[in-house]
């Protein structure tokens, strides 16, 4: 049984500002619950584009050595360098897996401007992808998928600009943070959704060369940069140190890896039987965590998958498998299916959903790859053949 998603596929190629080789940076935002520590942030080793982690929680470790967000972004957007233009195309695949019910939903929009029409103006190219992994029934994930365009763009007045700058980035994060909250509240007001039904949510946006990922839950987005896997999201599970601290500060507890002994994630939309009454402080929150990177020619594709994938394989294994597939047949849809089949082979126990987003056209990748030189062919001769050849060269061979 395969679940379908609305797909809008249009390749785009529009000139964008150049990039700068900069290091990792983070933004601290004041809030009342929990902390995201520098030790939890991803390493900048060998990264040429900036990756930023931002969250509502305070950074409990010192941030004296972290470059201010606005300064880094300004440097990136104003720098002179190679002008890489993403050529966006995608593919996806979903399967019910060994479960009795399908609770996953997903969406692909390769051309956001065309999808939303002339009322919205975004930096181009622009694209949007989302995976919603439901639990406690399919209602919450299905409701979010059905209304996601309204939640993310219409109801929150998503910023509209012709190019990416610092103001656009900050406004985009604020809008998406509000969108996750509104979607969460809508689930408690929707009569057709059980209070025990919930969903994790991960959303990836591309504006010019900016890749922005918003995540709440344990779906994961992984960037392939020259074959190396770079996590663009952090799994929100109660056992992880940063989430565990926040949960316990808000009065929750972890029992055998489960939040309050019930839920395997510490952030999700819905699950209002764990959040009520509305407005009360709950260890289960819907607020997303953000990561951003400026894409370069070294960035090949993005893998977005539900936890059924990541429960049985590492980010690097998934990236390597997809990369081999793209080099063979250059079909992101087939690569998504291959990744799902690999999870089956590794005995996953969950629903399975994968989206593959490619950032360059096949022609571009061929021009970037080094030219292979032909190796000289060698052959061996028997002793008799070698003697005959020697006699022939000496002029003694029989005519």
Q: Can you give the residue ranges of every domain in the chain?
A: 7-393
How far is the C-alpha of 272 from the C-alpha of 199, rounded, in Å? 11
Beta carbons of 94 and 353 less than 8 angstroms apart: yes
Q: Which two tokens stand for residue 335?
A: 């690569």
Tokens read off for 307: 């936890």
Name the pLDDT band for 375 (thresholds 50, 70, 90): low
The reported pLDDT for the residue numbered 43 is: 33
From the candidate CATH numbers 3.40.50.2000, 3.40.190.10, 3.60.40.10, 3.40.1380.10, the one assigned to the domain spanning 7-393: 3.60.40.10
Q: In Å, how far are 106, 128, 215 from 148, measured between CA atoms?
A: 10, 11, 14
Q: What is the mean pLDDT of residues 287-298?
A: 96
Judged by phi (left if over 0) then psi (alpha if -120 to 50, else beta), residue 33 lies in beta
Q: Is 128 helix (H, G, I), strand (E, B) or coil?
A: strand
Query: What's the confidence (pLDDT) of residue 199?
Result: 98
- Choose the weakest-confidence range: 37-46, 262-271, 276-285, 351-360: 37-46
Each residue's pLDDT tens digit, 145-193 = 999 999 999 999 899 988 899 999 999 999 999 999 999 999 999 888 9
Q: Measured at the alpha carbon of residue 107, what is the angle toward residues 84 and 302, in degrees to the nearest 5?
A: 35
Q: What percent of the chain has pLDDT over 90?
A: 64
Looking at the predicted structure, is the pLDDT value of residue 32 above 50?
no
pLDDT score of 73 more than 80? no
């Amino acid at each position: 049984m395969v679940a379908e998603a609305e797909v809008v596929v249009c390749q785009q190629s529009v000139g964008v500002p150049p990039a700068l080789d900069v290091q990792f940076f983070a933004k601290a935002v004041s809030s009342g619950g929990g902390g995201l520590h520098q030790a939890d942030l991803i390493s900048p080793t060998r990264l040429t584009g900036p990756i930023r982690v931002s969250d509502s929680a305070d950074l409990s470790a010192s941030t004296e050595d972290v470059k201010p967000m606005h300064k880094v972004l300004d440097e990136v957007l104003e720098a002179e360098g190679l002008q890489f233009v993403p050529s966006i195309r995608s593919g996806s695949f979903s399967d019910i897996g060994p479960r009795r019910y399908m609770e996953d939903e997903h969406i692909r929009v390769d051309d956001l401007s065309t999808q939303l029409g002339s009322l919205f103006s975004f930096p181009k190219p622009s694209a949007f992808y989302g995976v919603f992994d439901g639990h406690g029934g399919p209602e919450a994930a299905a409701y979010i998928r059905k209304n996601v365009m309204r939640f993310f763009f219409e109801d929150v007045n998503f910023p509209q600009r012709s190019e990416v700058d610092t103001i656009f980035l900050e406004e985009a994060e604020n809008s998406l943070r509000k969108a996750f909250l509104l979607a969460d509240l809508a689930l408690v007001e929707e009569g057709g959704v059980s209070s025990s039904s919930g969903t994790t949510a991960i959303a990836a946006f591309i504006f010019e060369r900016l890749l922005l990922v918003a995540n709440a839950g344990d779906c994961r987005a992984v960037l392939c940069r020259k074959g190396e896997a770079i996590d663009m999201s952090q799994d929100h599970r109660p056992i992880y140190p940063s989430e565990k601290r926040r949960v316990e500060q808000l009065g929750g507890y972890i029992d055998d890896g489960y939040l309050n002994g019930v839920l395997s994630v510490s952030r999700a939309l819905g699950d209002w039987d764990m959040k009520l009454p509305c407005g009360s402080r709950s260890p289960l929150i819907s607020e997303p965590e953000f990561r951003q990177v400026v894409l370069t020619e070294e960035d090949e594709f993005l893998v977005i998958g539900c936890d059924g994938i990541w429960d049985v394989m590492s980010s690097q294994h998934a990236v390597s498998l997809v990369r081999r597939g793209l080099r063979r047949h250059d079909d992101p849809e087939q690569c998504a299916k291959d990744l799902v089949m690999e999870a089956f082979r590794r005995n996953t126990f969950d629903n399975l959903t994968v989206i593959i987003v490619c950032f360059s056209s096949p022609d571009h990748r061929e021009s970037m790859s080094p030219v292979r030189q032909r190796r000289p062919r060698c052959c061996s001769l028997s002793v008799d053949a070698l003697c005959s050849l020697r006699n022939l060269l000496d002029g003694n061979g029989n005519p």
